Structure 1
């Protein structure tokens, strides 16, 4: 794809990286956010809110695809309404705008949290895969689950393509503030550069309908070894990984088969 892509949440860490990558790949990029994106690259910018149907519809006319990165990235205790309003209502509004503007491809930055098996949740089995049952616990997890369902409805009703990418704990090279994921997050992480690569693959993939794919590195964060953490942290959780040795607790075979994605950054 070398066409015009709108990226919502263009000022956020993932959105900004996506905008820069797509621009450098030769696509026409319009970054949408509630405040200006700080960048030296000359891609287009639009100040707007994903909950504004008229503004989003106008922004999407004539574009080839939408990458939806806009939303709150975690729970905010005492502000649960904002989580639902921005992450759920915002996503639904954007998808309605995409339908009105006849945009036929949406790539949504979801999260492993949509499954509800990290944080306060407990996996039903390991390694976690994209068929894991959804059991959201927190408002943020529920918002990610509902946003995915909205994408499913969009794809089915519009005969369009909606691809939900489910990154695990996203790390940003050179950011010393990142401590990395622990046992509650399955020690699962993914480099921002691999997330951006998955977005570009999703924009090009010969797919129709609704799809969702987990994104995780091929090893555990911090040099932890699989057999050690299984015995120490997850002894009571059924293992469905077969006898083939694995080095991670997240199965990304869906991203590999659908998109041809392989994590490469270290």
Structure 2
């Protein structure tokens, strides 16, 4: 089996590479930055917006894990080109190559302006918090189109906070451990149909649903609570009635990411 991973040099891609390694599996790593391949890996240096390069990258591929794109807020033109058009190029290239399974890295920021509830359900209606969040909504919509029109199996992962360990008290709820991220991707690569799944671990303080994830075979094993004592000692117990805990998107919903501020910064 050959899996094409876009954005392989990024944070999530770097965490996933050793965890997705399997006997008989080849990981084809694609990024605009050069990647040094290890055993069982191939490397492609290419831009996801380059249709010719993506067509070549799809040769012999059984599944795509699309992580490529800007991972934080950017001006509209950059988001439009890389995150939105780039996703179209990836999906269209996969369709033309006959790739049956595509996993799309969406984000909690696709629904960032939803308020905190006891458990945010699966398929929460889009309420993006940024242009970045809009690109994730568009990614999910493109995935839906390519499933319904062309029969491609597409799973969209609304990823929370994927790091080696949670970095602040909010992440005690939103953390996706690297090991659980790999378990989620493995389930998504094998899933038929179209799915939108929360990318979160089995955290004690979790308020995002795991129902759809479990429906496709994802069984998280990690809990951010093992890091709680240290984080609370440094930051104090979080006030769940105050930002960044009151909205799904957290600090991305704040005014510092308004377009005028972005323009001034650049």
Asked whether the two chains share a fold, i.e. TM above 0.5, the reply is: yes
Matched with 1:218 is 202
Partner of 1:13: 11
Task: Name the structure 2 match of 1:63.
Answer: 61
Q: Does 1:179 align with 2:171?
A: no
Q: Which residue of 2 aligns with 1:164?
A: 156
Which one of 77, 82, 98 corresponds to residue 78 of structure 2?
82
Retained in 2: the 8 A contact 1:28–1:43? yes
Note if contact 2:103-2:157 (Cα within 8 Å) is conserved in structure 1: yes
Deviation at 1:180, TM superposition (A): 2.6
Residue 130 of structure 1 and its aligned partner are, at CA, apart by 1.4
Cα distance in structure 2, aligned partners of 1:16 and 1:26:
20
Alpha carbons of structure 1 residues 141 and 186: separation in structure 2 relative to 1, 3 Å: farther
SS of the residue aligned with 2:182? helix
Q: Distance in 2 between matches of 1:142 and 1:92?
A: 14
* Equivalent residue number for residue 100 of structure 2: 104
* Number of residue pairs aligned between Structure 1 and Structure 2: 224
Q: Using the TM superposition, give the Cα deviation of residue 39 of structure 1 relative to its aligned residue in structure 2, in angstroms.
A: 5.5
Query: Equivalences for 1:135-150 in 2 at 5 Å?
Result: 135-150=127-142
Equivalence for 1:126: 118
Of 44, 51, 54, the residue aligned with 1:53 is 51
For 2:76 and 2:167, the matched residues in 1 are separated by: 25
CA distance in 2, matches of 1:186, 1:17: 19
Question: Does the residue aligned with 1:45 lie in a helix, a strand or coil?
Answer: strand
Distance in 2, matches of 1:265 and 1:65, equals 29
- The aligned counterpart of 1:254 is 212
The alignment partner of 1:134 has SS state of coil
Aligned partner of residue 46 in structure 1, secondary structure? strand
After superposing the two structures, state which structure 1 stretch, 89-98 or 56-65, moved more.
56-65
Matches within 5 A, 1:233-248: 247-248=205-206
Q: Which residue of 1 aligns with 2:90?
A: 94
Which residue number corresponds to residue 264 of structure 1? Answer: 222
Q: Which moved more, 1:14-23 or 1:84-93?
A: 14-23
Distance in 1 (CA, whole Å) between partners of 2:200 and 2:220 is 9
Shift of 1:181: 5.3
Tell me the equivalent position of 2:240.
none
TM-score where L is the length of structure 1: 0.77
Relative to structure 1, the CA distance from residue 113 to residue 181 in structure 2 (aligned partners, 3 Å threshold; closer, same or farther) is: farther
* 3-state SS in 1 of match to 2:103: strand
Offset from partner CA, 1:88-135 (integer Å, 9 cap, x none): 11001110111111111101111111122xxxx242743112132211
Contact 1:193/1:265 (CA < 8 Å) preserved in 2? no
Conservation of the 8 A alpha-carbon contact between 1:180 and 1:189: no
